[in-house]
Amino acid sequence: MKILVIGSGGREHAIAKKLLDSDKVKQVYVAKGNPGMLNDGIHLVGIAENDHEGLIQFAKDNQISWTFVGPEVPLLNGIVDDFTAAELKIFGPTKAAAAIEGSKNFAKEIMNKYEIPTAKYKTFSSFPEAKAYVKEEGAPIVIKADGLAAGKGVVVAFTGEEAITALSDMLEGNQFEESSSQVVIEEFLEGEEFSLLSFVNGEKVYPMAIAQDHKRAYDGDKGPNTGGMGAYSPVPQIPQKTVDLALESIVRPIVSGMVKEGCSFTGILYAGLIATNEGLKVIEFNARFGDPETQVVLPRLTSDLAQIIDDLLNGNEPVVTWLEDGITLGVVVAAEEYPKEYQKGMLLPSNVNNLEVTPYYAGVSIDEQGRLIANGGRVFLLCATAKDVETAQREVYDELEKESLDGFFYRKDIGEKAKKV
Ligand code: AMP
Ligand code: GLY
């Protein structure tokens, strides 16, 4: 098989690398990918992810068996619909099904209809009305831009003032443009968060190993929300019976709800969940693999990813098996100041690939001498699989401490919560 992956980050690096492990796969192309992927034998294709025509032509010209879509933006732009119309195979949800991620309001409505537990909420597009609701409800309270905002559209406000500033930025200041012309105001939930991703095909659900992300920029879960600063899988403090309950009370009902609504979901469904004192609740759904969760989940897959996707696309029963023992942990190295305005051009360490750790590259380009330099907020992730969390942390952090990482930062506490058990 020859496979095309769409996207350019660490998530796509992990997907492409795993696909290449398959004996059936001859070539993996990534559009646009990044130069950090080249060492793994991945081919880069210089076509932008919003150039559907160009990608379709590439898939035709190169006899691509099927295409895998990494990020949410092309899904919400209807890339699956366009490839399907061109009679090309592609794995991911249609534009209508991707609305489970693209509109928080749509997600909330479908959850309510199918009695899937989630935070109490109200939707607003008027600033005065939203402000009045915040005054009525009090803090802490959560403000979310309705549409996509690269993981940065959520403000957990601990005071009324913070909430009102966020509302004013989104509704009056057009902070996320069209994405924040409507906001969802949500009850504040407390508990252990985890991500449960599944391969989905209509009513069929094949769950993955669970993971936990670290969304805040700084140690101790301080600072602004980011795309994710590190992750580990599985999550020992979440018992299997909680995962089973999540599948039965959340994932299967939403998937069959989508079939009933006429927007059947095929692709990767990401459930962001929280175990509160009142039970499990949904924080969000995404219509794709998570980043950085993918970089710690896929290394734990012991069956053939390419075969799984091929089976799902052809209506066959896939074999999905996972490593039972140990833990996989990944730490994101980001440009200083991320998620605010950040610097670019810093040289990356060149020797981070040893037997214990695996790098997955994201915001990188190359300089005139062909060396990797930083070109984005989250630059790369180092990942290790070990017998326990302490060992995995040591392997990753020992390597990072050896490197000179001027102009970069990373969290030093990835995986700490897993030590509580
Ligand atoms: P989201 O982009 O919806 O995943 O939100 C980003 C992060 O904000 C989540 O991972 C949570 O840590 C936090 N968050 C979102 N919604 C809530 C909520 N209702 N209560 C508490 N924290 C939340
Ligand atoms: N890591 C969170 C996300 O991919 O949405």
Say if CB 296 and CB 233 are below 8 A apart. Answer: yes
* pLDDT above 70 for 256: yes
Compute the mean pLDDT over every residue in the chain, rounded to the nearest whole number. Answer: 94
**Is 273 within 8 Å of 59 (Cβ atoms)?**
no
Give residue 177's pLDDT.
67
Residue nearest to atom 12 of ligand 1 (CA): 215
Residue nearest to atom 4 of ligand 1 (CA): 284
Average pLDDT over residues 213-242: 95
Q: Percent of the chain scored above 70 by pLDDT? A: 98
CA proximity to 171, closest of 120, 128, 226, 224: 128
What are the pLDDT digits (tens) for 81-117?
A: 999 999 999 999 999 999 999 988 899 999 999 999 9
Residue 61: strand, helix, or coil: helix
Q: What would the mean pLDDT of 58-63 be, rounded to a whole number?
A: 98
Q: How far is the CA of 154 from the centre of ligand 1 (A)?
A: 7
- For residue 175, what pLDDT is reported? 76
Q: At 353, is the pLDDT very low, low, confident or very high (cuts 50, 70, 90)?
A: low
For residue 93, the model assigns a pLDDT of: 98
Q: What domains does the chain contain, in order, with CATH numbers?
A: 2-94 (3.40.50.20), 126-181 (3.30.1490.20), 191-313 (3.30.470.20), 327-420 (3.90.600.10)
User: What's residue 247's pLDDT?
Assistant: 98
pLDDT value of residue 364: 97
Residue minimizing CA distance to atom 4 of ligand 2 = 290
Mean pLDDT throughout 156-184? 84
Mean pLDDT of 46-62: 98
Task: Provide the residue type at 393 as one letter.
Answer: Q
Which residue type is seen at 320?
Answer: V
Lowest mean pLDDT among 32-36, 154-158, 317-321, 333-337: 154-158
Q: Report the pLDDT value the prediction gives residue 94, as an integer from 0 to 100.
A: 98
Which among 142, 176, 192, 213 is the best mutation to test ligand 1's pocket, defined by most ligand atoms within 8 Å of the CB? 142
Query: What is the residue with the minimal CA distance to atom 3 of ligand 2?
Result: 290
Ligand 1 centroid, distance to 346 Cα (angstroms): 31
Q: Could you tell me the pLDDT band of residue 23, with boundaries at 50, 70 and 90?
A: very high
C-alpha to C-alpha distances, 197 to 70, 109, 268, 284, nearest whole angstrom: 14, 21, 7, 12
Q: Does ligand 1 come within 6 angstroms of the Cβ of 101? A: no
What's the gap in Å between 151 CA and the centre of ligand 2? 7
Residue 255's nearest CA partner among 240, 243, 271, 241 is 271
Ligand 2 mean position, distance from CA 61 (Å): 33
Task: State the pTM of this model.
Answer: 0.94
